[in-house]
Structure 1
Amino acid sequence: MLNSILDSLQYEFVRNALLAGSCIAIVAAIVGYFLIARGLTFAGHALPNIGFAGAAGAVLIGVSPVYGLFAFTIGAGVIIGLLGKEVRERDIAIGIIMTSALGLGLMFLSLYSGYAERVYSVLFGTILGISSTDVQTMMITCLLTIGSIVLLYRPLLFSSFDPMVAQARGVPIRGLAIIFLILVAMAVSISIQIVGALLVFTMLVGPAATAIRIAQRPLWAILIAIGLGLSYMWIGILLSIANGLWPASFYIATISFVVYLPVRILSPYWIRNRGRHESQPVVGQESDSVQTTVEHVHIH
C-alpha cells in the first residue's frame, strides 16, 4: 500500500487534491475554532445545506454552481449575523432558513431538465477532480480568509468569549459577527468543492472540537486543529487513492470521529486535573460544556 501511495504522488490530480485539501483543512480549522467559541456550530451545519440550493439555482439558469454556492452562503451568513446573540431565537431562525433553502434547492432541481451531475457533486464533493485552476482559486480564497481572520483576531477572540465587555469597550459586535459569518460562508463554499456539502461540517467542527479539549489557550488550540485537519485530509485522500473502494470523505469523517471520541471521553479528567493546578478564569466553552480559557486578551 505504501508503494501505491508513493507512486500516486507523481500524478497531477493527486497533487492538486492534496494542495486543495491542505488549503481547506487550514481554513476550516481556524474558522471552526471560532464557530465553536461563538456558539455557531449550527450555522456551520446550515450553510452547506443552504449552499446546495444556490448551486441548484445556478445550474438552472445556466451558470457555474460555484457562483450560486457563494451567493447563497454569503447571503445566509449576513442574515444569520443580523439575528443577534440570542442563541435560542437565532438557532430557530437558522433552522427555518436552512429548511426553506433546501426546499428551494429541490424545486430548482425539479425544474432543471438537464443532467444535474454538477449539483450532485456539490453534495458529495469531487476531491480527485480538482484542476490546477481550481487549486489556484482556492489558494487565493484561503489566503484572503486567513488574512482577514488574522487582522480581526484580537477583537474576534474578545467578542467570542466576552461579548458584553467587548461591546462596552467599543468593539462593533454586530458588524464583526457579520464579517465573520461571511468568512465562514467563503470557507464553506470552497470546502464543499472538496468534501461536499454533506461532510463539510466534519472539517469545520471535528478538528477544532478535538483541539479545544486538548489545549487551553486559543492559539495552541487553533494550531492543533490545523495539524489535525491536515492529517485527516492527507490520510483520507491517500487511503482513498490506495484503497480505491471508498471516497476520501468517508475516511476523513471516520478518522475525525475516531480521534474525537477518546479525547471527548478522557478530556474531563485532564481538564479537572489542570484546573487544580491553574487558577486562570474560564471565559468560553464548547456547546456541550467544554471549557477553554483565554489569557491576556486585550484590544489595543
Structure 2
Amino acid sequence: MSWDAIWEAMFGGLPVYGQLLGLVSNAVWAGAALGLVGGLVGVFVMQRDMAFAVHGISELSFAGAAAALLIGVDVVTGSIFGSLIAAALIGWLGARARDRNSIIGVLMPFGLGLGILFLSLYDGRSANRFSLLTGQIVSVQTGQLGWLIGISAVVLLGMLVIWRPLRFDSLDPQSAAARGVPTTTVSLLFMILLGLIVAVAVHIIGALLVMALLVTPAAAAMRVAHGPLSVPLLAAAFGFVSAVGGILLAIAGTLPVSPYITTISFVIYLVCRVVGARQGRVTRVRGGEGRPAAVQGASVNS
C-alpha cells in the first residue's frame, strides 16, 4: 500500500471534518468521561496487579453485549450484565492472586466463545458486530450517551467513597486487614466499579483493547509521578487525551477509532518511560554527588 493510500485512509475526511464532528459528538462526550474515570480506576488496577482482570471482564462484557444484540435489547444493558457477573466472580472467588489469575484464564475464553457464538447467530448489520470488538465512533447512540456518562459518574462517586480504604488495601493489604479495614468488601466493591467502567469502555474502544484506557494511562503516570494525588490526576489526564484525541483523529479517517486511541496511549507511555528513566538517572547521580567520596567509593566497590 502506498503512502497516499495510507494518508487517505487515516485523514481522508478532513474537508468535511466539522460536519462529521457534529455527528459523533456523543462518542466524544462518552470518550471524555471514559478517559477521565478509566485513568483514575487504572491506578488501582496497577497497584493491585489486576491488569489481567480487566481483559477477563471485557470478554464477558463482550458476551453480554453480543447476547443483547442477538435478542434485540440495548447492548449497554447486556454489557453491564456481563461485566458485573465477571467482576463478582473474580472478586468473590479470586481472593488470592493465583486463584484470581486461574479464574480469569477460565472466564476469558468462555466469554469470548459465547460472544462469537452470539455474533454468528446475529443476522443484522456487520458493523454492529465489529464495533463490539474494536470500537466505532458512531456506535454511541443518543439514548446510550446518558447511560454511559451516568455509569462513569457512578464509578467516580464510588471511587471517591472507598478511596482511602481502597488505597490502603492496595498498597499494604496485610496492614489494612490488621487495622480493621474490611478488605473483602472493599475488593468486591472495587471489582464491581471496575466491571461498570469496563462495560463503558467496550462501547468506545471495543472489548479487545480496553486495556489501552484502563491500564496504559495509569502505567504511564506511575513512570513519571509518585504522589498520592499526582498519579491519579495524571492518569486521568492521559486517559482523557488518549480517548478524546483518538476519536477526533478517527473522524478524519476511515479506520476504526481503536487504532488511534491505542497509538496515542502507547506513545504517551513511551514518552513517560523515557522521562522516568532520565529522572531516575538524574536522581542517582545527584544522590552520588551528595555523599562523601569515601562512601561513594565503598558503594562502587560493593
**TM-score when scaled to structure 1?**
0.83
Match of 1:12?
22
Residues 1:198 and 2:208 aligned together: yes
Matched, 1:69 2:74: no
Structure 2 Cα separation of the partners of residues 22 and 264 of structure 1: 24
Is residue 279 of structure 2 the alignment partner of residue 270 of structure 1? yes
Distance 1:180 1:250 in 2: 29
1:249 to 252, 258, 263: 258
Distance apart, 1:193 and its partner CA: 0.8
Residue 261 of structure 1 corresponds to 270
Note the residue ranges of structure 1 that are not aligned, 5 or more in a row: 279-300
Query: Could you give the per-residue CA deviations for residues 246-285 of structure 1, whole angstroms, max 9, x where no partner exists?
Result: 222111111111221243245244246547889xxxxxxx
Aligned equivalents of 1:268, 1:203: Cα separation in 2: 23
Tell me, which stretches of 5 or more residues in structure 2 are unaligned? Answer: 1-10, 288-302
Larger proportion of helix:
2
Q: Is the counterpart of residue 126 in structure 1 residue 136 in structure 2?
A: yes
Q: Give 1:103 shift.
A: 2.3
Between Structure 1 and Structure 2, how many residues are aligned? 275
> What is the aligned counterpart of 2:70 among 37, 60, 67?
60
Amino acid at match of 2:272: V
1:22 aligned to 2:32?
A: yes
Partners of 1:116 and 1:241 lie apart in 2 by 21
**What is the Cα deviation at residue 95 of structure 1?**
0.6
1:9 and 1:15 in contact (8 A); partners too: no
Q: Does 1:181 align with 2:191?
A: yes
Q: Give 1:48's aligned residue.
A: 58
Q: 1:210 to 1:83 in 2, by over 3 A?
A: same
For the residue of structure 2 that corresponds to 1:74, the secondary structure is helix
CA apart distance, 1:9 = 6.9
Aligned-residue identity in percent:
37
8 Å CA contact 2:69–2:122 kept in 1: the answer is no
- Alignment deviations for residues 82-139 of structure 1 (CA, whole Å, 9 cap, x no partner): 13442223212211111122222233344x2522643432112232342333222222
Q: Does structure 2 conserve the Cα–Cα contact (< 8 Å) formed by 1:195 and 1:249?
A: yes
- Aligned counterpart, 1:33: 43
Which of the residues 243, 250, 255 maps onto 1:233? 243
- 2:114 is aligned with 1:114: no
Counterpart selection for 1:164 from 160, 174, 194: 174
Does the CA contact (< 8 Å) of 2:66 and 2:132 recur in 1?
A: no
Relative to structure 1, the CA distance from residue 262 to residue 12 in structure 2 (aligned partners, 3 Å threshold; closer, same or farther) is closer
CA distance in 2, matches of 1:83, 1:276: 46
Q: Which sits farther off after the overlay, 22-31 or 132-141?
A: 132-141
Q: Does the C-alpha gap of structure 1 residues 11 and 96 become closer, same or farther in structure 2, counting only changes over 3 Å?
A: closer
Q: Which structure is larger by alpha-carbon Rg, 1 or 2?
A: 2
1:151/1:231 CA distance change after superposition, 3 Å: same
Are the equivalent residues in 2 in contact too, given 1:13–1:129 (CA < 8 A)? no
